[in-house]
Chains A and B, each alone.
Chain A
Amino acid sequence: MTASGYREIDHTADLGFDLWADSMPSLFAEAVLALSEFCYERTSVLWVEERILEVRGTDPEEQLVRWLQETYMQLESGLWLTAAATDVVLKGEVVKGTLHGEPIDPARHTLHSEIKAITYHGLKIVREHGLWRTTVVVDV
Chain B
Amino acid sequence: MGSRSFANMVCGGLRWLSMSRRRSVRLHQIGEYCWEIPPSSGMRVPGRIFASERMIRDIKTDKSLEQVVNVAYLPGIVGASLAMPDIHWGYGFPIGGVAATDPAKGGVISPGGVGYDINCGVRVLRTELRKEDILGHVPRLMDALFEAVPAGIGSSNAIKSLSVDEMYKLLSEGAEYVVRDCGMGSEEDLKHTEENGCLVDADPSHVSDRAIERGRRQLGTLGSGNHFLEVGIADRIFDSRSAATLGVDKGTVCVLIHCGSRGLGYQVCDDYLSVMNRAVIKYGIELPDRQLCCAPIESNEGTAYLRAMACAANYAWANRQAITHLARQCFMETFSIGPKDLGMVLIYDVCHNVAKFEEHTVDGQLRTLCVHRKGATRAFPAGDLRIPTSLRAVGQPVLVPGDMGRFSYVLTGAPGALQHTFGSTCHGAGRVMSRAQAKRESRGRDLFGEMAERGVTVRAASRRTVAEEMPYAYKNVADVVNVMAGAGVSDKVFRLKPVGVIKG
B450 to nearest A CB, angstroms? 20
| B291: A residues at CB distance < 8 A | 119-122
- Residue in A closest to B67 when the chains form the complex, CB atoms: A121
* A14 pairs with B18, CB closer than 8 A: no
Q: Given the interface contacts A61-B12, A114-B152, A123-B290, does A13 sit within 8 Å of B117 by beta carbon?
A: no
Q: Quick check: A116 and B116 within 8 Å, CB to CB?
A: yes
The distance in angstroms between the C-alpha atoms of A140 and B153, with both chains bound, is: 11
B364 contacts A by Cβ under 8 Å:
no
Q: Is A111 an interface residue, CB under 8 A from the partner?
A: yes
Collect the chain A residues with CB atoms within 8 Å of residue B431's CB: 12-13
Q: Which of B101-109, B238-246, B459-467, B492-500 contacts the other chain? A: B459-467
With A13-B95, A113-B462, A116-B266 as contacts: A139 and B223 at CB distance below 8 Å:
no
Q: How many residues of A contact B (CB 8 A)?
A: 35
User: Are A114 and B223 within 8 A (Cβ)?
Assistant: yes
Do the beta carbons of B434 and A11 come within 8 Å of each other? yes
Given contacts A76-B263, A111-B462, contact A116 B153 (CB under 8 A): no
B436: chain A residues within 8 A (beta carbon) = 8-11, 15
Query: Secondary structure of the A side of the interface?
Result: loop
Is A15 touching B154 in the complex (CB atoms < 8 A)? no
Separation of A39 and B115 alpha carbons in the complex (Å):
20
How far, in angstroms, from A75 to B154 measured CA to CA in the complex? Answer: 8
Q: Once the chains bind, are A112 and B116 in contact (CB under 8 Å)?
A: no
Across the interface, do A122 and B289 meet the contact criterion of CB distance under 8 Å?
Answer: yes
What is the CB-to-nearest-CB distance from A49 to chain B, in angstroms, rounded to a whole number?
A: 18
**B39 on the interface (CB 8 Å rule)?**
no
Taking a contact as CB atoms under 8 Å apart, the answer to whether A119 and B11 are in contact is no
Pairwise interchain contact B464-A113, C-beta atoms closer than 8 A: yes
- Please measure, in the bound complex, the distance between the C-alpha atom of A119 and the C-alpha atom of B18, giving whole angstroms: 16
In contact, A75 and B153 (Cβ under 8 angstroms): yes
Do A139 and B435 touch (CB < 8 A)?
Answer: no
- Are B89 and A12 closer than 8 Å at their CB atoms? yes
Chain B residues touching A, majority SS: mixed
Contact mask A28-51 → B, CB, 8 Å, 1/0?
Answer: 000000000001100000000000
B465 and A113 contacting across the interface, CB-CB below 8 Å = yes
**In contact, A69 and B270 (Cβ under 8 angstroms):** yes
A42-B432 Cα distance, complex, nearest whole Å = 28
Q: Which of A1-35 contact B (CB under 8 A)?
A: 8-15
Most buried by B among A12, A39, A40, A75: A12
Q: Does A101 contact B (CB under 8 A)?
A: no
Minimal beta-carbon separation of A5 from chain B (angstroms): 16
Option from B92, B154, B433 in Cβ contact (under 8 Å) with A76: B154
| Docked CA distance A88–B153 (Å) | 27
Chain A positions within 8 Å of B273 at CB level? 120
Q: Which of B259-282 contact A (CB under 8 A)?
A: 263, 266, 269-270, 273-274, 277
A63 nearest CB across to chain B (Å): 9
Please give, as numbers and ranges, the residues of chain A lying within 8 Å of B457 by CB-CB distance: none
Task: Please state if A140 and B214 are interface contacts (CB–CB under 8 Å).
Answer: no
A59 within 8 Å of B (CB atoms): yes
CA A117 to CA B274, docked complex, whole Å: 13
Q: What are 29 A-B pairs at a CB distance below 8 A?
A: A11-B434, A13-B431, A14-B435, A15-B435, A15-B436, A39-B153, A58-B13, A58-B14, A58-B277, A62-B12, A69-B270, A75-B154, A76-B263, A111-B154, A111-B462, A113-B224, A113-B225, A113-B464, A116-B117, A117-B269, A119-B116, A119-B291, A120-B91, A120-B291, A121-B291, A122-B91, A122-B289, A122-B291, A139-B115
- 4 A-B pairs besides A62-B277, A122-B91, A137-B91 with CB distance below 8 A are A12-B432, A59-B11, A77-B214, A120-B91
